[in-house]
Amino acid sequence: MMFKKAARRSVILCLAIALASAATSLPNRQMKAHAADAYDDLRAKYVEMLTGGSSYDTSDPDVAARIAEITATASDAQTKMYRTPTRNRLWPDAALGSDSAGITFTYRHVRDMALAYRTEGSSLEGDPALKADILDALDWMNANQFYVGKSKYQNWWHWEIGGPVALNDVVALMYDELSAAQIADNMAAINYMQPSVAMTGANRMWEVQVIALEGMNAKDGAKITAALDGIDALLPYVLKGDGYYADGSFIQHTHFAYTGGYGASLISSLADILYLFAGSSWSYDDPNMGNVYQWIYDSYEPLIYKGNLMDMVRGREISRWRSQDNAASAPIISAIVRLSDIAPAPHGASFKSMVKYWLQEDPENDYLKSVSIDLVLEAKEMLSASAVVSRGELVEYRQFAGMDRALALRPGYGFGISMSSDRIGNYEWSNADNNKGYHTGDGMTYLYTSDLAQFNDNFWPTVNSFRLPGTTVLKDHAQDANTKPPSSWAGGTDMLGLYGTSGMEYVAAKDRGTTTARTLTAKKSWFMFDDEIVALGAGITSADGIATETIVENRKLNAAGNNALTVDGTTQSSSLGWSDTLVDTDYIHLAGNVPGSDVGYYFPGGTTVKALREARTGNWKQLSGAAGWSDTPYTRNYLTLWLDHGISPTNGSYAYVLLPNKTSAQVGSYAASPDIAILENSASAQAVKENGLNITGINFWTDAPKTAGLVTSYAKASVMTRETASELEVSVSDPTQDNAGMLYFEVAKNAKDLISKDGEVTILQYSPTIKFKVNVNKAAGKSFKVKFSLAGTQAPNPAPIPVPAAYEAETLPIQSMTDGVTVYNDNNASGAKKLGLINNAVGDYTEFSLDVPEAGVYGVFARIGKATSNGIYQLSINGVDQGAEWDGYWTTSELYRDLSLGTYSFDHPGSYLFRLTVKGKNPSAAQYRLMLDKFTLT
């Protein structure tokens, strides 16, 4: 695309010449010769996007409701607007001078009034007094608060994005009522605050939106072109940091899952801009546009459950009272509606199909109550169109390895898990948002059923934030925010794209606001099968002197709080305030709030469960200190079930099974004859078999040989197997995303032959047991599949893979390093290349992963090249020093030296970590570096 950008710049430098002489040769997005009203056409289209135009039926109930809401909001803003000459703000909830949010709130109030002024059917449409107030507000802000040269204070976002987004809308809506000077002054202010596209993720897309619409309002084609150029960097998939991942993850702020927060804003803004400029002289196109359509399927569609956006990907936004999960989905659904109009036909049809399903599953019409009239009209058109076929319920399993989330969508329910690791933070807390997010990233589980109000209707201000479902926690522990746990084990694998195994190693963070460190750790796994979710915990250990709890459930009840609760078939009290310690409990059943929302809980082998039925009161102000947040108290009723591991437990454990949508009788029958068998629940491995499906899930927690069920793994891994009479399928992943080498597996079955495999899988043996290895270097948590035949003619075993004659340094995968490396060409080196280790101090290291395909005792050798910068080094293998320290510096004539570093017993095939650590340097050596040619094992 470099040629395209160069062409754009030439157009901008000499617009008149370009329009006259080169229009026919410009790429699609270039400013072509156009009529003087091209900008006016764009603006008219944009105003229609905001208002719905003027050709709709104002008596349509849904349209009339939106008109009434738009009118009421504008009337309220107009009523509350300050008009005195000595005013220092325009609205009581929008302080100016210290709180930057006042900039955004002020312009949003003006936008609300401008929208009513331009909305067909509103009693305020064209109202002279309203117009006067709008213009007065614009002029006052431009003279006193938002102008060229104004110094920004507090949060940059309100100056560069929040305020400008709303101001652009106001100018577009009121364009014909504004003087040229008013338009120019307001656009100049936006240009001053937001001059260029420079950021990442959603912030970048907001920059694009602000500058593109400024260009439209200011009739500045160069601005539009420069803005749209900024989209290019958003479209490729990323491997780390902010952006979209190939597995469907979306990250913002480097290490937080934000598909439903910043990701919602990004796709909403992008879709609007693509739709707006489609068919114009600036219609956007890019080789990566296909990614945008794929994001809908991978990143957004799975996370919208019957119209509700799952909170586990919304970050701080769960603390925002205007955007609970039933409302938070609207920007994404609107984006999909916009894209359905401009996407290639197959995508467009699919998008309309999924939107129709969500709309049909929205009993309260939440979507139609919150979006622009333009989108209301299109949504209703989809609902009535027989050609648009509803997608139906989505049934699949998703492992979002890039953001430590897992999701099982089954008939009648959805189940999400929110985890964290040394890659993904536990929860974000900033700008006074998300004050009580303590354990939302600690394995919190979300069970979605037909009770679509479960996680809205004031769930977050009223739920006990110390007892979130699925978590293992220190009692009443306000855990620190913005923290990445030290463990890398968080992830899982799937089978058939329908069933999944997931897990995390939980390590408690310190107390928030203190330096008090905590020691609680736990190995936590979830096995998601056809109609049950098995939860296991092991290695639960703490020296904190605080009670440790695993929260099985914290379910919001009906308005009376009297949902029927039965324990082992016996009905319990339905009175609020009831609590009990339920000894030797096999199963529990909780009646749902609506049909299709009952939940059962089975405890294999029986256990003691603590239970509490309570009314809880809270307000949104407790969750966020942002201006305008409500302190209105809300009371909701909850049933909490938890397992008490005691104070400072050692190697504690738990096991329970969630049974969504089952009656009390069905739960009792399941407990009497469960479909699952727990094969192991230890700190080394957790394994469960689903007998009906003949599927087994296993999480291996250690880098050591370990057998669970039929599978032996030699390193940390997540595994699923599925066996039929004639086939065995295996799915594996590296949930740590740390392994730069191979995972080795053995399955205690005799395979006849190979049916299929991913390219990263190497078959080592079919008989008498199955052996294979998987290259997981840079796999980013991806699952790899292999399928074997168990019937038919026996295939011969592949020839054994020998230990390589040399491990060339420049080709070895690097597990980790403190500094860097450089490859050099050298005809005297083995393979004509050598690797420079750019270490700079004692303690610096470079660690390689060496694949050793055959166990045995080998002599270990390293060949190093002569260099005045070579330091003194120590080799370690899997963390154990190998041989003595050695000095890589010499002055004699030989160019290379072969160092004998003793013998090492490689007790199993696998990847071994060879770390070279700087121990010092010769006084004559210039630096601490090393020229490494190869390793050999003989």
What confidence category does residue 28 fall into, taking pLDDT thresholds of 50, 70 and 90? very low
Sequential DSSP letters for 137-158: HHHHHHHHTSSTTPPP-S-HHI
Query: Distance between CA atoms of 505 and 736, rounded to whole angstroms?
Result: 10
- The answer to whether residues 197 and 142 touch, using CB atoms and an 8 Å cutoff, is no
Helix, strand or coil, per DSSP, at residue 131: helix
Q: Report how far Cα 280 is from the mean position of its chain's Cα atoms.
A: 34
pLDDT tens digits, 716-773: 999 999 999 999 999 999 999 999 999 999 999 999 999 999 999 999 999 999 999 9
What confidence category does residue 5 fall into, taking pLDDT thresholds of 50, 70 and 90? very low
- The answer to whether residues 211 and 205 touch, using CB atoms and an 8 Å cutoff, is no
Find the catalytic residue in 39, 117, 175, 262: 262
Instruction: Tell me what pLDDT residue 616 has.
Output: 98
Query: Distance between CA atoms of 802 and 692, rounded to whole angstroms?
Result: 41
- The answer to whether residues 587 and 671 touch, using CB atoms and an 8 Å cutoff, is yes
Tokens, residue 314: 């919304």
Q: Which residue has the tokens 């437990």?
A: 649
Average pLDDT, the chain: 95
pLDDT tens digits, 706-722: 999 999 999 999 999 99
DSSP state of 480: P
Radius of gyration of the chain (CA): 31
What confidence category does residue 431 fall into, taking pLDDT thresholds of 50, 70 and 90? confident
Q: Which are the contacts of 544, defined by CB distance < 8 A and separation ≥ 6?
A: 474, 508, 518, 519, 520, 648
Query: Distance between CA atoms of 158 and 222, rounded to whole angstroms?
Result: 25
Mean pLDDT of 50-68: 96
What does the angle CA 297 – CA 298 – CA 299 come to, to the nearest 5 degrees? Answer: 105
What confidence category does residue 849 fall into, taking pLDDT thresholds of 50, 70 and 90? very high
Instruction: Tell me what pLDDT residue 363 has.
Output: 83
pLDDT tens digits, 542-567: 999 999 999 999 999 999 999 999 99
Helix, strand or coil, per DSSP, at residue 762: strand
In the chain, the percentage of residues whose pLDDT exceeds 70 is 96
* Continuous segment of H or E residues that includes residue 886: strand 880-887
Mean pLDDT of 419-439: 95
Q: How far is CA 629 from CA 10, 316, 356, 632, 895, in A?
A: 49, 14, 33, 9, 71
pLDDT at 248 over 70: yes
3-state SS, one letter per residue, for 516-577: CCCCCEEEEEEEECCCCEEEEEEEEECCCCCEEEEEEEEEECCCCCCCCEEECCEECCCCCC
Query: Distance between CA atoms of 141 and 81, rounded to whole angstroms?
Result: 13
- Is-catalytic flag, 896? no
pTM of the prediction? Answer: 0.93
pLDDT at 26 over 70: no
Instruction: Tell me what pLDDT residue 36 has.
Output: 52
Is the C-alpha dihedral spanning 43, 49, 51, 54 positive or negative? Answer: positive
Q: Report how far Cα 17 is from the mean position of its chain's Cα atoms.
A: 47
pLDDT tens digits, 598-656: 999 999 999 999 999 999 999 999 999 876 788 999 999 999 999 999 999 999 999 99
Mean pLDDT of 145-173: 97
Instruction: Tell me what pLDDT residue 626 has.
Output: 75
Tokens, residue 519: 């020691």
DSSP state of 23: G
Mean pLDDT of 41-48: 98
Q: How far is CA 936 from CA 592, 805, 858, in A?
A: 64, 7, 9
Instruction: Tell me what pLDDT residue 8 has.
Output: 34
* Continuous segment of H or E residues that includes residue 468: none
What does the angle CA 474 – CA 490 – CA 652 come to, to the nearest 5 degrees? Answer: 40
Name residue 863's beta-bridge partners: 898, 934
What confidence category does residue 364 fall into, taking pLDDT thresholds of 50, 70 and 90? confident
Mean pLDDT of 483-503: 97
First CA to last CA across the chain, in angstroms? 51
Helix, strand or coil, per DSSP, at residue 482: coil
Query: Distance between CA atoms of 638 and 63, rounded to whole angstroms?
Result: 37
Instruction: Tell me what pLDDT residue 65 has.
Output: 97
Sequential DSSP letters for 769-835: SEEEEEE-TT-TT--EEEEEE-SSSPPPPPPPPPPPS-EEGGGSPEEEESSEEEEEE-TTSGGGEEE
pLDDT at 337 over 70: yes
